[in-house]
């Protein structure tokens, strides 16, 4: 069954020949699928697209499709390259210096503050927002700033409703307000080190090292659909894991694959990884 969000995104792409078009927020997996679809098209479709969630580092993003004539002339040569998704995030941030483009993206930032007497988690903030009857696709990332404060990105059409109606999260009273953020703001993430040593950068070996399972058990997890590489499920146990890849292992967490750092005395590759916490 085709993914509805991806299908709608491709419809937006077809509508963008003469005017900018923007989707609702999509998951990282949906973004990867849209990106893959555009790369496979002739005519350079990917050259007119970038993904933006309201600031740098956002995982849930809108797909923004620009007509060929819309992009600032000095950016055209670089934009025409089939940049990977991570570099497109940096490129989108660079375009924040062009208000005429960023104004086409209907995303607003909302600051939510609790009383300070109760600890609020990402799940609490999300639950409070969705309890208003809001569709998940209208809300992007939620950046938890402290135990009682979060920054939420939402579509402009729904942001005023959140601000006016969100008064409680769980048992805690909260206050929400629209806010402006700096162009270079990046969502804070917390990680813990998860360095590994592997015989090669094959997926089954990396999963084995991160989970502590046997190589056979790691391969079974991959074949069972419990592993996502670059936000997409894969059953290819011999897929190559590269620096910058995001690897999600059900029951074990999500990891950023870092750089290789030489070899151990036994000749195994040392790879720096970070686990989301």
Alpha-carbon span 142 to 122, nearest angstrom: 7
pTM above 0.85, yes or no: no
Alpha carbons 141 and 174: distance in angstroms, whole number = 18
Tens of pLDDT, residues 240-265: 999 989 999 999 999 999 999 888 88
Residues 6+ apart with CB under 8 A from 262: 270
Per-residue pLDDT, 114: 95
At 157, the pLDDT band (50, 70, 90 cuts) reads: very high
Residue 46, pLDDT above cutoff 50 = yes
Tens digits of residue pLDDT in 51-64: 899 988 889 999 99
At 101 the pLDDT is: 75
CA distances from 29 to 88, 121, 193, 236, 262 (A): 16, 24, 24, 17, 32
Say if CB 109 and CB 178 are below 8 A apart: yes
**pLDDT tens for residues 110-143?**
999 999 999 999 999 999 999 999 999 999 999 9
pLDDT in tens, 174-227: 999 999 988 778 888 888 999 999 999 999 999 999 999 999 999 999 999 999
Give the 3-state secondary structure of residue 222: helix
Strand partners, 275: 192, 255
Q: What percent of the chain has pLDDT over 90?
A: 58
Q: Does residue 268 carry a pLDDT above 60?
A: yes
- Check whether 79 has a pLDDT greater than 70: no
pLDDT band at residue 102 under the 50/70/90 scheme: confident
Q: What is the pLDDT of residue 44?
A: 58
């Amino acid at each position: 069954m085709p993914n509805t969000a991806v299908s709608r995104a491709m419809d937006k792409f077809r509508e963008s020949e003469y005017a900018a078009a923007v989707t609702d927020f999509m998951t990282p997996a949906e973004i990867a699928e849209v990106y893959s679809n555009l790369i496979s098209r002739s005519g350079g479709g990917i050259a007119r697209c970038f993904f933006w969630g309201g600031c740098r580092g956002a995982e849930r993003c809108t797909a923004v499709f620009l007509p060929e004539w819309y992009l600032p002339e000095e950016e055209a040569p670089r934009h025409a390259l089939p940049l990977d998704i991570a570099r497109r995030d940096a490129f989108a941030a660079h375009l924040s210096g062009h208000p005429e483009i960023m104004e086409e993206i209907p995303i607003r930032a909302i600051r939510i503050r609790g009383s300070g007497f109760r600890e609020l988690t990402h799940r609490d903030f999300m639950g409070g927002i969705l309890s208003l009857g809001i569709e998940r696709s209208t809300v992007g990332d939620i950046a938890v700033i402290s135990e009682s404060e979060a920054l939420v990105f939402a579509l402009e059409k729904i942001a005023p409703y959140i601000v006016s109606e969100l008064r409680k999260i769980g048992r805690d009273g909260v206050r929400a307000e629209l806010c402006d953020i700096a162009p270079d703001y990046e969502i804070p993430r917390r990680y813990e080190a998860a360095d590994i040593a592997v015989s090669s950068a094959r997926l089954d070996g990396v999963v084995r090292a991160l989970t502590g399972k046997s190589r056979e058990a790691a391969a079974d997890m991959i074949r069972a659909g419990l592993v996502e590489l670059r936000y997409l499920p894969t059953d290819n146990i011999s897929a190559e894991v590269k620096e910058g890849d995001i690897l999600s292992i059900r029951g074990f967490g999500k990891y950023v694959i870092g750089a290789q750092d030489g070899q151990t005395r036994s000749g195994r590759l040392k790879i720096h990884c970070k686990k989301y916490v």
